[in-house]
Chain A
């Protein structure tokens, strides 16, 4: 009898005693990603995995938020011509520049308690513009001619040109001068001596809600709360970011509970997530975030066949892209009708759309002189078959599936398409950069909101032996109006006037078809049911920049 009583008491106690809430239990979260950063220096090598981890430890001066709006994170207010914090200046050569006043948050400090000051801005500029420092994208630093210190928390950037994005200094990654200056004593050795890699757990490197406390290269990073963080306290005491490159293994780790969530920014391919959702969708929250990555088919416009606009138009009319995204991605990725994402404010609603029309495609090919021939393949007047080589990154299952669908659709209008894929490093390292693809190549551009396509569509950016194969206009697209529009958009400050120029650029893109737009990718974020407050962005500034908003569902 006493045993029964004891059991009853134990059960009653178990039910009546207040259970610890989820919020109390979940003091740690483990995030799985599929890459490990090659460096933790914010300005050396751009990599999504690095941005994701640094989002937990740093706050940039300016950044695009989840609504794709430019905001201040480490500064008090965005300098604008309207609020007087941005002032037009005239340069010695008569060009127009701009002086931008940034005021740092008064409470902002590095992870060792040292205030973040204007001296850090000066040091950052010195590092960024030094040719031997190893900073990859130094364009912004070169454009800044002087950093003028007003006081400890206020500095003025003198920039040698005025563009519409004059106050977006997202690439100006503040460095802690008080600990990094010594490493910069020999600029040529800075890459090897910077504490970001030599001593990544140094608390002074942190300027965000977390700091790195342990790092095992290629395996994981452990982050703990930064005691000197000035903002809202983050929910988790510890965050572990684990890198598991094999996406099947990453999925298995999620199911086994060794990771709690998989970051959409550097996680599973969408087709794997769609299959995962069908099997385990009830156990997780799965969020598909429209992304700025633009999947497209580049043409080699030096090719005599593809240099003909009707042929390019026919190739686009022949594609049922709606069916493609429905069948392959269950509609989770959006059909692209141009380079500008529909969520971008400069997207033009009235851009000409090439709806699927196989008959029209056939007519255009007839007009171009390609008539149906034996075996259903069209031939030109001299009897040569309309046969095109289609390249992409080998081993990328999603791309290979898309290629097969496109190949079949083009076959319907009599175009013989041969798939010839290459490993990514060969494709991006040689074939594209040296413009050695014979006809068509499929890949994606990663961009940011209102990203002016100078490097991809301006004729100056066509890679050639003369310019050392620099530039990413791989197709060789040269259009005077496009060049002019790109130049005008860059310096147009009036929002409405700029929108109009963007509209024309998108129309021109649709009219001249330098590439075939396919779809905009989506990031698939897999999160536990108990997590809330994660706001994926869909651009290169990851959701971790707002980690203090992440909460355990109560």
Chain B
């Protein structure tokens, strides 16, 4: 297992190196440069200033040269300076990373806490009224647009009832843990609703499949309790496909909660990456996207480890 993990880590490093070049090139190929974007705000910017600024930001250099210079600095531990946030990339990245991790863990935890029991119970009585009801809820969660749900939650719980803050990370000028938790409620619920619907469907489908298999019938014949069959024999096996979905979701949710972050003015990785790409902030966009790639790779590695734990027959050589 250790050998497998080591080999996967080396593979990940290679993937990240290749991705860094691909991402850098793609951003470089996007139309316009930071100076073009500056002109939109400063129509009086003279041609001389435009040339000077391009030179200053290194935009007059060929793409490959810029990439090699960036890669050299990164190897020395310098991720560069964010032009959009006017601070070192790491200083810009870390707070957003922390916020995103909190949001990700909380929404995944909520989604799983609801989806697992609902999916299992629905699978135990397929076609029942309860199963139909759970399916309806799941489809509603999957198909509800995130921005709409977010805004509706704000309107109901912040505007009409006044129970929860409409956005932000904490009350400005004060707060504490309880206050931060209150600010998390609406974005977590928004993200969790879509996740719950998806996981319910996966858990239910996997459980129905497993519950039909021979070893379950054998366990029933041996007189195992229904609870033990479901929890010990079926759910554990059903978690393998669910784990795959979860592993992929970690990367996607990490950088893809853009809409939720924008609606709730929550400064996370999705918003940071989007702004950096749109604002042609190469250093920040690159670091953010590579981090998202690393999270996806890490999620998949964790999934591999989880497979071996869930099913001892799975081994890596």
Binding site for B on A (CB under 8 A): 30, 38-41, 44-48, 131-132, 134, 136-139, 142, 191-192, 196-198, 214, 216-220, 222, 238, 240, 242-246, 248-249, 252-253, 255-258, 424-426, 428-431, 433, 445-447, 451, 455-456, 461, 467-468, 470-472
- Is the beta-carbon distance between B167 and A249 smaller than 8 angstroms? yes
Q: In the complex, which residues 50-93 of chain B have their Cβ closer than 8 Å to any Cβ of chain A? A: 50-56, 81, 83-88, 92
> CB-CB < 8 A to B33: which residues of A?
429
Give the contacting residue for B262; candidates A137, A192, A246, A446; CB below 8 A. Answer: A246
Residues of A contacting B43 in the complex (Cβ-Cβ under 8 angstroms): 445-447, 455-456, 472
Using known A-B contacts A138-B52, A446-B41, determine if residue A258 contacts B167 with beta carbons closer than 8 Å: yes
When each residue 16-50 of chain B gets 1 if its CB lies under 8 Å from chain A and 0 otherwise, what string results?
00000000000000111100111111111111111
Do A46 and B49 touch across chains, with their CB atoms under 8 A apart?
no
B155 & A245 in contact (Cβ 8 Å cutoff): no
B204 at the interface (CB under 8 A from A): no
Known contacts A39-B86, A136-B53, A425-B37: A470-B166 contact under CB 8 Å = no
Q: Are B49 and A426 in contact (CB under 8 A)?
A: no
Given contacts A252-B159, A255-B159, A470-B51, contact A425 B30 (CB under 8 A): yes
From A219, A238, A248, A425, B267 is in contact (CB under 8 Å) with A219
Smallest Cβ-Cβ distance to B154: which chain A residue: A252
Residues of B contacting A222 with CB < 8 Å? 172-173
Known: A132-B56, A258-B158. A428 touches B265 (CB 8 A): no
Which residues of the other chain, B, contact A45 by a CB distance below 8 angstroms?
38, 41
Q: Determine if A136 and B151 form an interchain contact, defined as CB atoms under 8 angstroms apart.
A: no
Interface contact B56-A131, CB-CB below 8 Å: yes
Q: Flag if B39 contacts A472 (CB, 8 Å).
A: yes
> How many Å from the CB of A17 to the closest CB on chain B?
27
A253 to B147, CA, bound (A): 15
Query: Which residues on B sit within 8 Å (CB–CB) of A30?
Result: 172
Kindly identify which residue among A39, A256, A430 contacts B158, using a CB–CB cutoff of 8 Å.
Answer: A256
Within B213-266, which residues are at the interface with A (CB < 8 Å)? 262-265
Shortest CB–CB separation between residue B5 and chain A, in angstroms?
A: 36
A425 lies within 8 A of B41 (CB): no
- Residue contact B168 to A246, C-beta cutoff 8 Å: no
B202 within 8 A of A: no
User: A246 to B51, Cβ gap below 8 A?
Assistant: no
Q: Which residues of B contact A429 (CB under 8 A)?
A: 30-33, 36-37, 280
Q: Are B263's CB and A256's CB within 8 A?
A: no
Query: Which B residues have a C-beta under 8 Å from some C-beta of A?
Result: 30-33, 36-56, 81, 83-88, 92, 95, 147, 150-151, 154-155, 158-159, 162, 165-169, 172-173, 262-265, 267, 271-272, 275, 278-280
Q: What would be 15 A-B contacts, judged by CB atoms less than 8 Å apart?
A: A45-B38, A48-B41, A137-B49, A191-B81, A192-B88, A218-B271, A222-B172, A249-B154, A249-B262, A425-B278, A429-B36, A429-B280, A445-B43, A470-B47, A470-B51
- Cα distance A242–B33 in the bound complex, in angstroms: 28
A430 to B84: give the CA distance in the assembly, Å.
20
Given contacts A139-B46, A431-B31, contact A217 B167 (CB under 8 A): no
Task: Enumerate chain B residues within 8 angstroms of A138, measured Cβ to Cβ.
Answer: 49, 52
**Within 8 Å CB of B147, what residues of A?**
246
Q: Establish whether residues B265 and A197, one from each chain, have CB atoms under 8 Å apart when the complex forms.
A: no
Residues of A within 8 A of B81 (CB): 191-192
- Contact B37–A46 (Cβ < 8 Å): no
- A131: B residues at CB distance < 8 A: 52, 55-56
With A219-B265, A246-B262, A252-B159 already in contact, the answer to whether A258 and B36 are too (CB < 8 A) is no
Cβ of B102 to closest chain A Cβ, rounded Å: 15
**Closest beta carbon of chain A to B13's beta carbon, Å:** 29
- What B residues does A425 contact at CB under 8 A? 30-32, 37, 278, 280
Q: Are A139 and B31 in contact (CB under 8 A)?
A: no
- Of A38, A197, A198, most B-chain CB atoms within 10 Å: A38
Q: With contacts A137-B45, A139-B44, A433-B36 known, what are 4 further pairs, Cβ within 8 A? A: A217-B267, A218-B275, A461-B47, A470-B46
Residue from A134, A197, A216, A246 with most neighbouring chain B CB atoms (10 Å): A246
| Chain B residues with CB under 8 A of A426 | 31-32
CB contacts (< 8 Å) of B85 on chain A: these are 38, 217-218
Which 7 A-B residue pairings sit nearest by Cβ, starting from the closest? A429-B32, A470-B47, A430-B31, A197-B86, A39-B86, A256-B158, A429-B36
- Contact between chains at B265 and A38 (CB < 8 Å): no
On whether the beta carbons of B31 and A253 are closer than 8 Å, the reply is no
**Closest CB-CB distance, B58 to chain A, in whole Å?**
11
Residues of A within 8 A of B166 (CB): 249, 252-253, 256, 258
B4 to chain A, nearest CB (A): 40
Closest to B151 in A: A248
From A41, A248, A252, residue with most partner B Cβ within 10 Å: A252
- CA distance in complex: A172, B151 (Å): 43
A219 touches B169 (CB 8 A): yes
With contact pairs A38-B86, A249-B166, A426-B31 given, residues A244 and B265 touching in the complex (Cβ less than 8 Å)? yes
* B265 x A246 contact (CB < 8 A): yes
Name the B residues within 8 Å of A40 (CB-CB).
86
Give the distance in Å from the alpha carbon of A445 to the alpha carbon of B42 in the complex. Answer: 9
The CA of A256 and the CA of B86, in the complex, are separated in Å by 32
Closest to A171 in B: B44
Closest to B152 in A: A252
Name the residue of chain A whose CB is nearest to the CB of B259. A246
Q: A252-B166, A433-B39, A446-B41 are in contact. Are A455 and B87 (CB under 8 A)?
A: no
Task: Tell me the nearest residue of chain B to A446, going by C-beta.
Answer: B43
Are A249 and B264 in contact, with the CB atoms below 8 A? Answer: yes
Minimum CB–CB distance for A197 against chain B, Å: 4
CB < 8 Å neighbour of B168 from A46, A142, A242: A242
Q: Do B37 and A256 touch (CB < 8 A)? A: no
Given the known A-B contacts A136-B53, A258-B158, are A214 and B173 also in contact in the complex, defined by CB atoms under 8 Å? Answer: yes
| Residues A137 and B42 in contact in the complex (CB < 8 Å), given A217-B85, A249-B167, A253-B167 | yes
